[in-house]
Amino acid sequence: DSGVTQTPKHLITATGQRVTLRCSPRSGDLSVYWYQQSLDQGLQFLIQYYNGEERAKGNILERFSAQQFPDLHSELNLSSLELGDSALYFCASSVDGGASGRGEQFFGPGTRLTVL
């Protein structure tokens, strides 16, 4: 158990819909990262938040957005869903935002999103 929790575990929805995935980081971790893993694309970094502010952006679509709240939990919002958005979405956390080469990230169990 990494200490990172994600809800829900599974989500099935239809094209065009909007969903919200939730992540609670390990106690004391200030950074939250979101990744998407689909069969044909591998593990893709989406976005990082550090202490409530966006720190780094990867291959995140404009239909997707995220935020980190004052209690440090984070939500990833996916809208106008397409079949190709079906994937595993992982959240990870780390103690800092990248200083000191401490890239050790702790990953949650993931949310499996199926778009029908």
Partner 1 sequence: DAKTTQPPSMDCAEGRAANLPCNHSTISGNEYVYWYRQIHSQGPQYIIHGLKNNETNEMASLIITEDRKSSTLILPHATLRDTAVYYCIVLMYNNNDMRFGAGTRLTVKP
By the criterion CB under 8 A, which residues form the site for partner 1?
A: 2, 4, 31, 33, 35, 42-45, 48, 55-56, 58, 88, 90, 92, 94, 96-101, 103-110, 112
Nearer residue to partner 1 within complex by CB, 19 or 92: 92
| Least gap, CB of 60 to partner 1 (angstroms) | 12
User: In angstroms, rounded to a whole number, what is the distance separating the alpha carbons of residues 30 and 108?
Assistant: 15
| Least gap, CB of 100 to partner 1 (angstroms) | 8
Pairing state between β 53-57 and 10-13: unpaired
Distances (CA, A) of 45 to 33, 38, 42, 48, 111: 8, 12, 10, 8, 15
Nearer residue to partner 1 within complex by CB, 19 or 23: 23
Nearer residue to partner 1 within complex by CB, 75 or 79: 75
Tokens of 111: 């949310």
CA 7 to chain centre: 11
